[in-house]
């Protein structure tokens, strides 16, 4: 009898352990999906851009704004690998010429304070709080009625896949709008599934240069993208329009594209950010 009780208790412990591991892995997967995209950290007139892709690669650069808030100067670039583990976002830095932010060959650990579709708040090892917002934002002055048939998807910037490991890096940048089918009277527009943007990033990341080397081929991929996105919008996508497109071999061109077409003109307020840093310590 005692042996049966012991085995039963051991069985329950194993079950609870497996459940907790599964829950942790699922949470980590959700966090990874939320983190993928283009982000910006704003401090005074300094913009730190951060691109996280679903392959676990990241790239970052610093841009400086002049007194008119026009971003005119690039300070440097960095890149490496990222992953999430045990409520931490971890960056390994393989290349960097902005070592005051990203030290070359370093592994940097950030505690995740908040991670949503619209906000990343991280605490570094010194206690400083880093607030990142998405570069994609709703165009100013647009009303809800203006967005019922056309939904700005914003900029999607990805590393293109390679046929061979020694092929040069190439990047695809698009500024897209989703054009929806007409709604019947009384019919409401379906909400955009939070994974729709991630699905678009994964789709474009799977393409190689030959798939997008001219505009006709890019339009063919956009037709395929409709099939990818429609399950997330109940089949309401009628068309996807391309406002701007760029295929580049230099990350600087990608950053310029993001700044020109997607970077918000209303950055995180410095006072609010300082308040958060002060409340949680430096």
Measured CA angle at 262 (ends 111, 172), to 5 deg: 90
Q: Which residues pair with 93 in a beta bridge?
A: 80
CB 258 within 8 A of CB 74: no
**Predicted structure pTM score:** 0.52
Question: 73: part of which helix (H) or strand (E)?
Answer: strand 71-85
Task: Please state which CATH class domain 34-135+264-280 belongs to.
Answer: mainly beta
Q: Which long-range contacts (CB under 8 A, 24 or more apart) does 187-192 make?
A: 189/148, 189/236, 190/233, 190/234, 190/236, 192/151, 192/232, 192/233
CA 154 → CA 107, 185, 261, distances in Å? 31, 28, 8
Cα(236)–Cα(231) distance, integer angstroms: 9
Could you tell me where the beta strands, DSSP code E, fall in 160-266?
A: 171-180, 237-248
CB 97 within 8 A of CB 77: yes
Domain definitions of the chain by residue range:
34-135+264-280, 145-261
231 in helix, strand or coil? helix
Longest dimension (CA), the chain: 80
The DSSP call for residue 209 is G
Tokens of 200: 């678009």
The tokens 């997967």 sit on which residue? Answer: 29
pLDDT tens per residue across all 282 residues of the chain: 555 554 545 545 554 544 444 445 455 557 788 888 888 888 877 888 888 988 899 988 887 776 655 555 667 889 999 999 988 999 999 999 988 889 999 999 999 999 998 899 999 999 999 999 887 543 333 333 333 467 888 888 999 998 888 888 999 999 988 888 765 545 566 667 778 888 999 999 999 999 999 999 999 999 999 999 999 888 888 889 998 999 999 888 888 888 877 664 444 433 334 333 443 443
DSSP string, 12-50: HHHHHHHHHHHHHHHHHHHHHHHH-EEEEEEETTEEEEE
Cα(267)–Cα(272) distance, integer angstroms: 11
Cα(81)–Cα(91) distance, integer angstroms: 6
Q: Give the burial class of 177: count Cβ atoms within 10 A of its Cβ; 0-12 exposed, 13-18 middle, 19 or more buried.
A: middle
100 in helix, strand or coil? coil
């Amino acid at each position: 009898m005692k042996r049966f009780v012991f085995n039963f208790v051991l069985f329950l412990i194993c079950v609870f352990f497996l459940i907790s591991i599964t829950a942790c892995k699922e949470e980590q997967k959700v966090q990874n999906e939320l983190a993928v995209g283009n982000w910006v950290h704003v401090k005074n007139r300094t913009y730190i851009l951060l691109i996280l892709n679903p392959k676990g690669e990241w790239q970052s650069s610093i841009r400086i704004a002049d007194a008119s808030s026009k971003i005119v100067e690039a300070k440097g670039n960095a890149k490496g690998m990222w992953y999430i583990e045990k409520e931490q976002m971890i960056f390994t830095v393989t290349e960097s010429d902005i070592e005051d932010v990203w030290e070359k060959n370093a592994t940097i650990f950030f505690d995740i304070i908040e991670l949503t579709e619209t906000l990343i708040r991280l605490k570094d090892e010194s206690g400083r709080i880093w607030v990142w917002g998405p570069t994609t934002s709703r165009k100013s002055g647009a009303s809800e009625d203006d967005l019922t048939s056309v939904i700005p998807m914003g900029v999607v910037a990805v590393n293109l896949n390679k046929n061979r490991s020694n092929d040069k890096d190439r990047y695809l940048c698009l500024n897209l709008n989703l054009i929806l089918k007409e709604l019947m009277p009384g019919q409401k527009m379906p909400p955009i599934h939070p994974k729709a943007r991630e699905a678009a990033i994964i789709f474009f990341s799977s393409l190689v240069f030959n798939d997008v080397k001219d505009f006709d081929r890019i339009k063919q991929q956009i037709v395929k993208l409709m099939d990818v996105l429609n399950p997330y919008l109940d089949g309401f996508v009628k068309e996807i329009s391309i406002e701007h497109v760029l295929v580049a071999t230099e990350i600087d061109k990608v950053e310029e594209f993001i700044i020109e077409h997607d970077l918000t003109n209303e950055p995180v307020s410095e006072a609010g950010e300082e308040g958060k840093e002060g409340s949680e310590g430096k």
